[in-house]
Amino acid sequence: MSQIVFAVISIVITISIMLIAKYIDRVKFKGLTGSHKIVVVVSMLAIVAELVYLSTSFGLLEYVFEIIASIGVGLVVLGITFQNKLKNAAAGLSIFLGPRVNLGDIIEIDNKVGVIKEIHLTKTIIELNDGNEMWIPNVKFDEEIIITHKGNKQG
């Protein structure tokens, strides 16, 4: 029963700290721009400290550590399973954010020349000179030599 009393007292103290920080911000720092960030930081620290205190008092950290470990193992398994897709997605983001290639650029890859028609997250589609389409995994833009003809865009 004493743990519950201490937990309630702790919650009341945390709420009081947050309200005092808000009051000080409103009264003392009203002309200071960005002072609300201080209140947010103080409130976040108080909440984290409260959660740590309560979880250690009631033994909840054991379950949290088990959950975090299970999630970690699951993410490792998913990462290994989808390794190629994740590499292609990361390369796709690099293509989207970087100026290396754009729609309409003429590129040469694997002795084939074509115009970039579509850029997706995991693949880029080019139209070859013979009218066929070629799908290129985006990771190839990082791993292979690709010649880009920037000045010769087709209209």
Provide the pLDDT for residue 52.
Answer: 81
pLDDT confidence of 132, banded at 50, 70, 90?
very high
CA distance 103 to 120: 11
Delineate the domains of the chain, giving CATH numbers in brackets: 2-80 (no CATH), 88-149 (2.30.30.60)
Q: Which residue has the higher pLDDT, 36 or 152?
A: 36
- Give pLDDT, residue 126: 93
SS3 at position 146: coil
What per-residue confidence (pLDDT) applies to 134?
Answer: 93
- Tell me what pLDDT residue 151 has: 56
Whole-number Cα distances in Å, 14 to 23, 25, 44, 62, 153: 14, 17, 10, 24, 63
pLDDT tens, 106-127?
988 888 899 999 988 889 999 9
Q: In a 10 Å sphere around its CB, with 0-12 CB exposed, 13-18 middle and 19+ buried, how is residue 92 labelled?
A: buried
